[in-house]
Copies of this chain bind each other. A is one copy, B any other.
Amino acid sequence: MQKFLLFTPGPAEVPSRVLKAISEPIIHHRSQDFREIFFEVREKLKKLFATNQDVIVFASSGTGAMESAVSNFFCRGDKALVINAGKFGERWSQICRAYSLEVEEIKIPYGYAVDPSDVRKALQKDGKIKGVFIQGCETSTGVQHPVKEVGEVIREERGDDILYIVDGITAVGVFNIEMDNWGIDVLITGSQKALMLPPGLSMLSASQRALKFMEKSDLPKFYFSVKREMKAQQEGETAWTPAISLIKGLRESLRMIIDEEGLQNVFERHKRLAGILRNMVEVLGLKIFAKKPAPGLTTIEIDDAEKIRKRMRELGAWVAGGQGELKGKIIRIAHMGYYTEGDMIYVGNVLKQAVEEFKSKASAN
């Protein structure tokens, strides 16, 4: 018999009421029924993003919204400053290069967060930088970047001449990210993390400053055209056929987050869950890999990480491993979205069991 809970940073567990909403008979997307659902979704997404701007929804994974954040707001040859602290920072660079942007990276050792003063230095050194790209949480290492402070530095140094682009895929709905107050120009997220949905939706919001940049952008885009989607979605429709069933699920999960639990309570819960799990990790004598750990996932340095991970899966908890050069060196336990204190006790004790088995094997040899 196989039975396990997912503790992976996407996909995450999906509440059964969301699964139910997704599996209702299909409705047409050019209907009053859909318009009402979509209106509610869009209003709640604004709260989630802490913005008065429109939040548009794409049928794609989060990477699609990342691409959209590049192709809609920049021009060939524009200079981008990418905070690269792991695999997802690296993805910003890859996308920028795919679209002929010139990329300058602040390369940060795995496990560390960016120091805002390094962003200041980079901006002072190069006055041509048009956009700064960052993650709210670098999911490959579990690090939380100081999104607010970096935003302050950007505005102090360059005012309105530059865009601040934040990948909030494992941040939005996990911890506080205030798009408007923090001067974020483009904020994106995906469906399969804090939003408690299966993968297949991504969201993007753009500031007024970003919309001005958009008018000049000469990069090709079509499916991920922010302009087309904004126009259509302001009218309650979508430019292309939307992922109707997932949007129905999204309404349900947003009701849970915004109306029922409340966004601040969700943030508090994520902190609390992280605290519980990290205490258990410390008691086991293990080390947290991230120097500034984000509330959505806990990364743990561990010998034989892939073996531990496999054993944990057998015991009923599916956790993630390290990526790239971190493979075999860390495990990542996600707790963003549909997770409770009980889940933390469960996964923490599964980890304990796996670690103790390996220890006793090692001492027997």
Contact B95 A11 (CB under 8 A): no
Chain B residues with CB under 8 Å of A146's CB are: none
Contact A198 B60 (CB under 8 A): no
Q: How far is the CB of A17 from chain B (nearest CB, A)?
A: 11
Tell me which residues from 57 to 78 in chain A have a Cβ below 8 Å from any Cβ of chain B. 59-64, 67, 71
Contact A11 B23 (CB under 8 A): no
Contact B222 A220 (CB under 8 A): no
Stretch at the interface among A148-156, A235-243, A274-282: A235-243
Chain B residues with CB under 8 Å of A199's CB are: 29, 59, 241-245
Tell me which residues from 227 to 278 in chain A have a Cβ below 8 Å from any Cβ of chain B. 239-246
A4-35 interface bits toward B, Cβ cutoff 8 Å, 1 = contact, 0 = none: 00101011111000011011111111010000
Chain B residues with CB under 8 Å of A29's CB are: 11, 199
Q: Most B CB atoms within 10 A — which of A13, A27, A63, A199?
A: A199
Contact A14 B25 (CB under 8 A): yes
Contact B64 A241 (CB under 8 A): no
Is A328 on the interface with B (CB-CB < 8 A)?
no
Bound: A221/B99 CA distance, A: 8
Bound: A286/B63 CA distance, A: 48
Contact A26 B59 (CB under 8 A): no
Is A339 on the interface with B (CB-CB < 8 A)?
no
Q: How far is the CB of A303 from chain B (nearest CB, A)?
A: 22
Chain B residues with CB under 8 Å of A27's CB are: 6, 11
Contact A22 B25 (CB under 8 A): no
Chain B residues with CB under 8 Å of A245's CB are: 22, 198-200, 246
Is A224 on the interface with B (CB-CB < 8 A)?
yes
Bound: A98/B10 CA distance, A: 33
Bound: A95/B228 CA distance, A: 13
Bound: A100/B318 CA distance, A: 46
Is A192 on the interface with B (CB-CB < 8 A)?
yes
Chain B residues with CB under 8 Å of A223's CB are: 60-61, 63-64, 67, 224
Chain B residues with CB under 8 Å of A241's CB are: 10-11, 61-63, 190, 192, 199
Chain B residues with CB under 8 Å of A52's CB are: none
Q: Most B CB atoms within 10 A — which of A61, A94, A99?
A: A61
With contacts A23-B19, A244-B11 taken as known, whether A220 is within 8 angstroms of B59 at the C-beta atoms is no
Chain B residues with CB under 8 Å of A26's CB are: 6, 11-14, 192, 198
Bound: A350/B329 CA distance, A: 65
- Of B11, B28, B60, B71, which one neighbours A8 at CB under 8 angstroms? B28
Q: Which 3 A-B residue pairs are closest in the complex by CB-CB distance?
A: A23-B23, A200-B243, A198-B245
